[in-house]
Amino acid sequence: MDLVARRFRFLVKKRRNRQTGSPQVAALGQTVLFALLFVVGIVFLVAVLWYQFLPEWRVIRNYQRTTCVVRDARLGQDPNDVDRHRPEIQIEYEVDGHGYTIWTYDARFHSGRGYAPGSQRQRQILDKFVVGQEYPCWFDPKVPDRAILVHGFDWTTWVMLLLPVSFIVIGGSRVGYIGITWGKSTERKAVLVQRASQLELFEPETDYQDDSYPAVPEATDLTNSPGVRLKYRLPIERSPTWRMIISGMVFMVVTAVTALFLDIAIQTHVANNPDWLLTLFAGSWLIVSAAALSYFLRQIVINMRAGLTIVEIQSHPLYPGRQYDLFLSQTGRLQLHWIEMSLCCEEIATYRQGTNTRTARKRVFWQLLLRRENVEVRQNTPLEEQLSLSVSANAMHSFKAMHNEVHWQLVVRGKAEGMPAFKRQFPVHIYPLPCKKAAT
Amino acid sequence: MIQPRVTLHLHNGSREYQPGDSLTGEYRLDVVNRWDIRAMEVSVLWYTEGKGDEDLQVHYFYRLSADDGDYINPFRPGRFNTKLPNSPLSYEGVIVKIRWCARVRLFLPHGKEAVDEAIFRVGRIPYARAVLP
Amino acid sequence: MSCSPTPRFPENPFSTRKTRPGAIPYVFPLGIDCEAILTRLAQHDWRGAIVGPHGSGKSALLATLIPAIKSGGHLVVHHELHDGQRRLSEKTIAPKDDADVVIVVDGYEQLSRWNRMRLQHRCRRRHWGVLVTSHGEVGLPTIFRTGTNMELACRLVRELLPLADKTISDTDVSAAFTRHEGNLRETLFTLYDLYESRREDR
């Protein structure tokens, strides 16, 4: 969720060069994305219904059955495309004593559609009708000179329905889920307003002469999201939601391409002029689409089940030798085998290797702050833990230069039943003690 | 011919400082002729060492140039004094190290230079060790 | 982080500061020196390429050649290309006057074919020299091929290590060199980690 805020810049509030990722705005971004998916599905569904289902529905609902005699049969050519044809049968029938002789075939005939690639399939259809023989037909009582020889849905129509339905289900379910959780965020806003006045103020260090910290990252980048239980909510680093969003986009693109190839391939089969190479190609795309869907659904499940991990802290930046209250909340629907929170420090060194740039990382500190095992997290009952963090008096402060960095973070890891282990990282900044305090 | 030299000396013998401390020192020039000195620079800076490309930031810088009309007396020791900042502290990491040093550089004729530096420590951060993931 | 006695600013001899191009003088093969390479370059109208595999010292050789080119009265404009940089900055490619110029490009293959042609054309038109590094033939005369061997690696390591420092042995060098298939840069990075892990004062 935070990745939406970080990647779509117009959606986020910015502090200097840092995007902070407001969860509410990120949720809006997510909603927009899945709403788009939903809308695409709706549009596609409407198209299928209009062009495939509606004509047949009118026939089923309004037309009356009678008997006709076939007088002639021919292969009709699409005036816009010489390679597309349709069967055209001339029939003779009577309605209320009046005789009618018309060219017709199916429900799409009279709207100028029903053409398909090739002609072999159409000729086979024509061969089924013997000139001079009687056949049932259906006419429109309001427009008696409009009649058809065949009606009903075939399997291709049902296949074409599957695609938009899948879009609607995926997009709609996620929009619905966000809507449900959005309601909670709104309540949380009210709590924030109520509690803001009750939060302890951070006691600023006023007894040192110079309050600048060269080569130490700005603490304000991490403190512009107020917490609910404690003063600040820490932003997440490298949100797992990006994987879900990317996989969703990939699935949409792959499915669109698959649908295109599949439609063309099916048409060739319907026209009794099967293109097997194209069918094979479309089939391979179908497999890719199925795999993309599977991965995408898996990411949705992981994100929906794992839910949000929230870390709040009493005060920021941190200083060596001090203790801080932390709050951890894990939402979702999980049967956790274990969950743990730790404080880590990594050295990060960037170096040029010939014409490439590479980065080396080395962990130099790790402290377990919390571990719980066999915990059940329910939809409306998140796991919540209050804990304490003591920063060692000897801790090296955060450091950031162009090629080298000392990076501190709180790491939440967990493993739940039926899903891979998850890991969420929350950067923190440790500042050196102010001059006067350091000297004592 | 004796090559000109410069020696740098920090007044704090232990070379250990805290943020906000005054760093004082002096430098002595060992030159035969003051016309040998085209320019002189005194700097206090930190730099990184380790696996990454070097980062460097100068905290204090002072330059005298004969071309600009500055008088450089080779027979009298020069002094410098600066207040150390809050950060960064000296750090002996595994792949990232942060070092502070004072440096004096003499610019001599024909593109030659004479340099001396004194590394000192700011803060008391202990050695870091790699921790297994 | 645990407490330790006051450190004495120990240095890792394999840190980037000590091993970057220019920090270590290039070790020429027998019978070759800087002057010989520059003579070859001059014979090819100051147009040439230094060719060699990854980590074989091309940038290090450039760092040795550039001061010598400058001391010969040439103006050197040096470009280092990284990470898919496909073009040279227009501001830096063109010296302000028509001085005796040699354009040096480290990582010539990063340039797109079009930008390579542009550079060549400009250098010919202005009578500038051009000296590049690459992993393969790039249409310029090859004036030197860099290469590495175990003996060179051991020699470099002995020069980097302080006197009487036995932390890294020739066996260690040999193992790292073999593992990295002759890439000296990777070898030195590995030796950095090894040295760091073996330091007694930790």
Domain final position from A110, A127, A150: A150
Domain final position from C108, C123, C145: C145
> Are C17 and B127 inside 8 Å of each other by CB?
no
**Amino acid at the residue A315:** S
Highest mean pLDDT among A156-160, A210-214, B28-32, B118-122: B118-122
A374 and A225 together in one domain: yes
Residue of B nearest to A393 (CA): B125
Q: What is the predicted pLDDT for the residue at A75?
A: 92
C47-51 and C129-134: which strand pairing? parallel
> Are C82 and A351 inside 8 Å of each other by CB?
no
Over residues B80-89, the pLDDT tens digits come to 999 999 999 9
Residue partners of B59: CB distance under 8 A and separation at least 6: A214, B44, B45, B46, B82, B84, B85
> Are A406 and B55 inside 8 Å of each other by CB?
no
Q: What is the predicted pLDDT for the residue at B101?
A: 95
Segment B8-15 shows an average pLDDT of: 88
CB < 8 Å to C17, chain B: 47, 49, 54
Q: Is the pLDDT of residue B104 over 60?
A: yes
Chain A interface, mutation test: which of C82, C148, C192, most A Cβ atoms within 10 Å? C82
Residue partners of A406: CB distance under 8 A and separation at least 6: A345, A346, A347, A348, A396, A397, A398, A399, A400, B91, B93, B96
B5-10 and B16-17: which strand pairing? unpaired
**Amino acid at the residue C17:** R
Q: Is B22 helix (H, G, I), strand (E, B) or coil?
A: strand
Query: Among A355, A364, A395, whose Cβ lies nearest the Cβ of C107?
Result: A355
Residue span of the structural domain in which C77 resides? 34-145
> Are C2 and B126 inside 8 Å of each other by CB?
yes
Whether residue A340 contacts residue A414, with contact meaning beta carbons closer than 8 Å, is answered with: yes
Q: What is the predicted pLDDT for the residue at A273?
A: 75
> Are C17 and B16 inside 8 Å of each other by CB?
no
Q: Measured between alpha carbons, how far is residue A313 from residues A232, A310, A427 in Å?
A: 5, 10, 12
Q: How far is A5 from chain B (nearest CA, A)?
A: 30
Please give chain A's pLDDT, 440 residues, in tens.
444 444 544 444 443 444 445 555 666 776 777 788 878 888 888 787 777 767 776 776 788 889 999 999 999 988 888 888 999 999 999 998 899 999 999 888 888 888 888 888 889 889 999 999 999 999 998 889 999 998 766 666 667 777 787 887 777 766 665 554 454 333 333 334 444 444 333 333 333 345 689 999 988 878 878 898 999 999 988 666 677 788 888 888 888 888 888 888 887 787 777 888 888 888 988 899 999 988 888 777 777 677 789 999 999 999 999 999 999 999 888 889 999 999 999 999 998 766 678 899 999 999 999 999 999 988 888 899 999 999 999 999 999 999 999 999 999 999 988 777 888 999 999 999 877 654 44
Q: What is the predicted pLDDT for the residue at A199?
A: 39
C109 and C171 together in one domain: no
C140 and C162 together in one domain: no
> Are A394 and C3 inside 8 Å of each other by CB?
yes
As a whole number of angstroms, the distance between CA C149 and CA A241 comes to 48
Domain boundaries, chain B: 5-46+57-85+101-122
Query: Among B47, B92, B130, whose Cβ lies nearest the Cβ of C7?
Result: B92
Q: How far is B116 from chain C (nearest CA, A)?
A: 16
Q: What is the DSSP letter of A53?
A: I
Segment C8-28 shows an average pLDDT of: 86
Query: Among B48, B87, B125, whose Cβ lies nearest the Cβ of A213?
Result: B87
Which has the minimum average pLDDT: A313-317, A424-428, C8-12, C108-112? Answer: C8-12
As a whole number of angstroms, the distance between CA A22 and CA A1 comes to 9
CB pairs under 8 A between B and C: 52
CATH for A103? 2.40.50
As a whole number of angstroms, the distance between CA A194 and CA A201 comes to 15
Domain final position from A118, A150, A182: A150
Closest CA to A196 of A148, A228, A171: A228
C141 and C158 together in one domain: no
Q: Is A213 helix (H, G, I), strand (E, B) or coil?
A: coil
Q: What is the predicted pLDDT for the residue at C160?
A: 93
Give the torsion through C-alpha atoms of A105, A108, A109, A113, to 10 deg.
Answer: -130
CB pairs under 8 A between A and C: 29
Whether residue C168 contacts residue C194, with contact meaning beta carbons closer than 8 Å, is answered with: yes
Q: What is the predicted pLDDT for the residue at A380?
A: 82
Instruction: Output the six-digit token pair for A114.
Output: 């029903």
The runs of H, that is alpha helices, within B11-58 are none
Q: How far is B75 from chain C (nearest CA, A)?
A: 31
As a whole number of angstroms, the distance between CA B37 and CA B42 comes to 14
The verdict on residue C127 lying in a domain is yes
Segment C146-163 shows an average pLDDT of: 92
Q: What is the predicted pLDDT for the residue at C130?
A: 94
The verdict on residue C24 lying in a domain is no
Instruction: Output the six-digit token pair for C12.
Output: 């890792």
Q: What is the predicted pLDDT for the residue at A11?
A: 43
pLDDT tier at C146 (50, 70, 90 boundaries)?
A: very high
In chain C, the number of structural domains is: 2
Count the neighbouring beta carbons within 10 Å of the beta carbon of residue C14: 24
Note which residues in 15-74 of chain B have CB less than 8 A from chain C. 16, 47, 49-54
As a whole number of angstroms, the distance between CA B1 and CA B7 comes to 19
pLDDT tier at C15 (50, 70, 90 boundaries)?
A: very high
Q: What is the predicted pLDDT for the residue at A56?
A: 74
Residue of A nearest to C3 (CA): A394
CB < 8 Å to A352, chain C: 82
Radius of gyration of chain C (CA): 20
Over residues B43-72, the pLDDT tens digits come to 999 999 999 999 999 999 989 888 888 888
Residue A333 or residue C192, greater confidence: C192
Residue of B nearest to C189 (CA): B51
C35 Rama sector, left if φ>0, alpha if ψ -120 to 50, beta otherwise: alpha
> Are A355 and C81 inside 8 Å of each other by CB?
yes
The verdict on residue C5 lying in a domain is no
Whether residue B59 contacts residue B89, with contact meaning beta carbons closer than 8 Å, is answered with: no
Which has the minimum average pLDDT: C94-98, C119-123, C185-189? Answer: C94-98
Whether residue A423 contacts residue C28, with contact meaning beta carbons closer than 8 Å, is answered with: no
Question: How open is the CA angle C162-C163-C164, to the nearest 5 degrees?
Answer: 115
A259 and A324 together in one domain: yes
A324 and A425 together in one domain: yes
Residues of A with CB under 8 A from a CB of B: 208-216, 347-352, 360, 362-366, 394-397, 399, 401-406, 431-436, 438-439
The verdict on residue A426 lying in a domain is yes
Instruction: Output the six-digit token pair for A418.
Output: 């039926």
Please state the φ and ψ torsions of residue A166, each to the nearest 5 degrees.
-65, -40
Instruction: Output the six-digit token pair for A301.
Output: 């499940």
Question: How open is the CA angle B108-B112-B117, to the nearest 5 degrees?
Answer: 85
Q: Exposed (0-12), middle (13-18) or buried (19+): which is A55, by Cβ within 10 Å?
A: buried
Q: How far is B36 from chain C (nearest CA, A)?
A: 21
Whether residue A357 contacts residue A351, with contact meaning beta carbons closer than 8 Å, is answered with: yes
In chain A, the number of structural domains is: 2
pLDDT tier at C37 (50, 70, 90 boundaries)?
A: very high
C156 and C105 together in one domain: no
Residue partners of B49: CB distance under 8 A and separation at least 6: B97, B98, B99, C11, C12, C15, C16, C17
In chain A, how many H helices and how many E strands? 8, 17
Whether a cis peptide bond, with omega within 30° of 0, leads into B88 is yes
| DSSP-assigned beta bridge partners for residue A339 | A372, A414
Instruction: Output the six-digit token pair for C165.
Output: 């420092």
CB < 8 Å to B128, chain A: 347, 364-365, 396
Task: Provide the mean pLDDT of chain C.
Answer: 86
Residue span of the structural domain in which A425 resides? 199-439
Q: Which helix (H) or strand (E) holds C144?
A: strand C142-145
> Are A354 and C54 inside 8 Å of each other by CB?
yes
Q: Which helix (H) or strand (E) holds A77?
A: strand A64-78
Q: Sign of dihedral through CA atoms A179, A183, A184, A186?
A: positive
C44 and C104 together in one domain: yes
> Are A349 and B95 inside 8 Å of each other by CB?
yes
C140 and C161 together in one domain: no
Radius of gyration of chain A (CA): 33
Instruction: Output the six-digit token pair for B35.
Output: 């016309």
C193 and C134 together in one domain: no
Over residues C43-79, the pLDDT tens digits come to 999 999 999 998 899 999 999 999 999 988 888 988 8
C137 and C184 together in one domain: no
C96 and C192 together in one domain: no
Only one residue has tokens 């939809």, namely A379
Instruction: Output the six-digit token pair for A152.
Output: 């009903």
The verdict on residue A329 lying in a domain is yes
Number of residues that make up chain B: 133
C77 and C155 together in one domain: no
As a whole number of angstroms, the distance between CA C10 and CA C54 comes to 30
> Are C83 and A364 inside 8 Å of each other by CB?
no
CB < 8 Å to B124, chain A: 394
Instruction: Output the six-digit token pair for A405.
Output: 């960095």
Residue A188 or residue C125, greater confidence: C125
C83 Rama sector, left if φ>0, alpha if ψ -120 to 50, beta otherwise: left
Q: How far is C1 from chain A (nearest CA, A)?
A: 6
C138 and C183 together in one domain: no
CB < 8 Å to A360, chain B: 51-52, 95
Q: Is B113 helix (H, G, I), strand (E, B) or coil?
A: strand
Closest CA to A209 of A436, A403, A419, A423: A436
The verdict on residue A260 lying in a domain is yes
Q: What is the predicted pLDDT for the residue at A15?
A: 39
A262 and A401 together in one domain: yes
The verdict on residue A163 lying in a domain is no
Q: What is the predicted pLDDT for the residue at A427?
A: 95
Residue B6 or residue A186, greater confidence: B6
Query: Among B19, B46, B96, whose Cβ lies nearest the Cβ of A435?
Result: B19
Q: What is the predicted pLDDT for the residue at C99?
A: 67
Q: Is the pLDDT of residue B127 over 80?
A: yes
As a whole number of angstroms, the distance between CA A133 and CA A145 comes to 20
Classify B5-46+57-85+101-122 by CATH class: mainly beta
CATH for A396? 2.60.40.640
pTM of the model: 0.66
Q: Which helix (H) or strand (E) holds A340?
A: strand A334-353
C64 and C125 together in one domain: yes
Instruction: Output the six-digit token pair for A4.
Output: 């939406």
**Amino acid at the residue B54:** E
| DSSP-assigned beta bridge partners for residue A347 | A362, A406
> How does DSSP assign A402-419, residue by residue?
SSEEEEEEEEEEEEETTS
Count the neighbouring beta carbons within 10 Å of the beta carbon of residue A32: 14
> Are A355 and C83 inside 8 Å of each other by CB?
yes
Chain B interface, mutation test: which of C8, C15, C70, C71, most B Cβ atoms within 10 Å? C15
Q: What is the predicted pLDDT for the residue at A17?
A: 41
> Are C16 and A351 inside 8 Å of each other by CB?
yes
> Are A404 and B88 inside 8 Å of each other by CB?
no
Share of chain C above pLDDT 90, in %: 51
Q: Is the pLDDT of residue B79 over 60?
A: yes
Q: What is the predicted pLDDT for the residue at A203?
A: 33
A329 and A267 together in one domain: yes
